[in-house]
Amino acid sequence: MKSVMIKPVKARGRALERTLEPRRKRTQSSKRSGSRNPKHHDRFDQSSYLSSSKAVKIVSMLAMMICSPFFIVFMWYTMVRADGSVEKACRHFFQFGIRGIKDVWPFPSQRACKLVGAFVLFEAILQALLPGERVMGPSTPVGNRPLYTRNGIPCFLITLGVYYLLWRERLFNPAMVYDIIGEIYSVLICATYITTTLLYVKGHMAPCSSDWGSSGNVLGDFFWGMELCPRLSSVFDIKVFMNYRLGIMGWAILVISFAIKQYEVQGRVSDSLMLGGL
């Protein structure tokens, strides 16, 4: 196939010519030149994100990474300690300042670490070992197509079934999740920064495919990630594990745990919580 030429256009006073090459040709060219060279900035969008108003972008990334834990703890304190009153929570923090934050901050506990660790391990085993149809994902900018195992619904049903059996056999009381939810949040905050750091190092030292690159900015690479589809094996996708196995499954487990806690305390489950659970 021949290249299709687009008429010259003017940008900033200069004439530019762009060529639309066939997709197959671009893909083959990308594969031939797809060495693990961090200078290839065009593979990710973070370079364009950092190209304009660099100071604003850096400040926004720092704000998200620094302020997110405080926002999570603020919402936890508002709902659990301040009876859902934002005004009451703000009054407390404005009155006591840093000492007020330190006094209410839910530090990680051994119980919370064990609970989160057991859940992470259980979901990892399900994702890695549960059979399912092998499907190809969409094509990446360099022509790769990641392979996935379609076992999300069985993982979800097994997770809920095992959680119910643990409660029915009195091996675990889900209401405890509500009692230590602040400590669980704190464990997850710490785990988030540790996991992000490990993925940043992995992206530099052992990328799993040619879909990787650097923006040339350490903070940007840490915030956006070095790899498009980070994996631990050919089928264990870290994004799928974090977003769907831990995120979606954990969301359902939290709603069920809160409903059980409410039933133990009030003898009933409110309509709003029941609707959220369904």
pLDDT tens digits, 55-96: 888 888 899 999 999 999 999 999 988 988 999 999 998 888
Residues lower than pLDDT 50 in the chain: 1-44
Residue 116: per-residue pLDDT: 96
Distances (CA, A) of 75 to 88, 136, 260, 272: 12, 39, 21, 19
Give the side-chain half-sphere CA count within 13 A for 211. 17
Residue 45: per-residue pLDDT: 52
When the pLDDT of each residue in the chain is averaged and rounded to a whole number, the result is 81
Residue 51: per-residue pLDDT: 53
Output Rg (C-alpha) for the chain, integer angstroms.
Answer: 24
Can you tell me the distance from the alpha carbon of 27 to that of 143, in angstroms, rounded to the nearest whole number?
5
pTM: 0.76
Residue 106: per-residue pLDDT: 92
Residue 257: per-residue pLDDT: 93
Residue 182's Cβ-count burial label (10 Å; 0-12, 13-18, 19+) is: buried
Residue 47: per-residue pLDDT: 52
Q: First and final CA of the chain: distance in angstroms? A: 54
Residue 143: per-residue pLDDT: 83
Residue 48: per-residue pLDDT: 52
Residue 83: per-residue pLDDT: 87
Distances (CA, A) of 81 to 74, 105, 110, 189, 253: 10, 11, 22, 20, 22
Orientation of helix 54-80 relative to helix 86-104, angle to 10°: 100
